[in-house]
Chains A and B, each alone.
Chain A
């Protein structure tokens, strides 16, 4: 793994980080439910994106053994919270159109998941160093949070609060 090699971490440590990531994601997904109803899904998305940027920034800056655990913990919380995106689509388009919306967004998400390792692998094979990719990614994720704040301004308040408006 390029990350383990770049940071000088053992595969055992990385496996522990993945476990922490998975556990945190499960707990965050469960805890987020009541919050989803209270503050609305779009606001939660706006909170989850900076968390992922932070996780990537921690990975970029740190080398200490605890760094990986902190980064994967934050990433787990961000990913668990990011699951509320489905609620955003439901709020925006209504649950009766959820199949249409989900089929499209799921395809895009899978495409992005597949593109990431391919692009990173191509860059690494072309001789790029792994270390600069992390702060660049942190910056890109932070930038991707900006349109969410604009979206908050465009979505009517009742929907922001998680109450679906009758259509």
Chain B
């Protein structure tokens, strides 16, 4: 089975592909983000308070939580291996 390279870079070239992404960000993503941010304050009202002692205290609590520590290796090995060996 022969797998051909992605069609997009072959047709328009990789430089224009990056330019296309930049244009897409400017045209679509920035207005969409601004639109979402208009509702952000309303959404944030429903959220809980910051953990007592601030962000660092919250992280410290997580590091003391056994369940977090048990799930940490699998969440770190995947990006470690994929970026190191596969990409």
Contact = CB atoms under 8 A, between A and B. Distances in A.
Report whether chain A binds chain B. Answer: yes
Interface string A95-111: 11100110111001110
Contacts, number: 148
A108 B5 contact: no
Chain A interface residue bracket vs B: 35 or more
B57 to A, nearest CB: 9
A120 interface: yes
Secondary structure class of chain B's binding surface, majority of residues: helix
Contacts of B20: none
Chain B interface residue bracket vs A: 35 or more
Interface string A109-137: 11011111101100000000010011001
Nearest to A167: B48
Interface of A: 2-3, 11-13, 15-21, 42, 45, 48-49, 52, 55-56, 59, 65-66, 68-69, 71-72, 75, 78-79, 82, 85, 88, 92-97, 100-101, 103-105, 108-110, 112-117, 119-120, 130, 133-134, 137, 140-141, 143-145, 147-148, 150-151, 154-155
Interface of B: 1-6, 9, 47-51, 55, 58-59, 62, 65-87
